[in-house]
């Protein structure tokens, strides 16, 4: 049975040590910007993982209620400039705030039946 083998498939791209450090700095900058936009009850974190198709970077926000918000990107796509970092942080913060609003709206008891 060879169903899980990857004969002839391309090997996933790996980051050099300098590239890995640059991506981690980008992730840290986005996390810091996102934390500044949200109250302390929101948990913000990042991860750089090696996936089957190559490295994947993730920034996530867990609101106090509601589901987590994630933004994934492939580090080989392109680095983030200052404006892109701000835009990503603002988008994550806004989406997390909407999650809280939606979760609270859905938990509210109806006034009448």
Q: Which CATH architecture has domain 17-104?
A: 2-Layer Sandwich (3.30)
What pLDDT, on a 0 to 100 scale, did the predictor assign at position 112? 52
Q: Where are the domains of the chain?
A: 17-104
**Average pLDDT estimate for 46-50:** 90
Buried-exposed string 14-37: b where 16+ CB fall within 10 A, e elsewhere: ebeeeeeeebeebbebbbebbbeb
**CA-to-CA distance for 45 and 55, rounded, in angstroms?**
17
What pLDDT, on a 0 to 100 scale, did the predictor assign at position 39? 93
pLDDT in tens, 20-39: 898 899 899 999 999 999 99
pLDDT cut 70: percent of the chain above it:
78
More confident residue, 94 or 84: 94
């Amino acid at each position: 049975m060879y169903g899980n083998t990857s004969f002839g498939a391309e090997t996933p791209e790996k980051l050099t040590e300098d590239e890995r450090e640059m991506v981690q700095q980008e992730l840290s900058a986005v996390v810091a910007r996102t934390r500044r936009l949200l109250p302390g009850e929101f948990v913000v974190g990042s991860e750089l993982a090696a996936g089957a198709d190559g490295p994947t970077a993730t920034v996530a926000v867990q609101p106090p209620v509601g589901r987590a918000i994630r933004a994934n990107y492939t580090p080989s796509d392109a680095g983030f400039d200052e404006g892109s970092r701000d835009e990503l942080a603002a988008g994550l913060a806004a989406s997390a705030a909407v999650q809280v609003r939606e979760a609270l709206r859905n938990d509210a008891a109806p006034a009448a039946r």
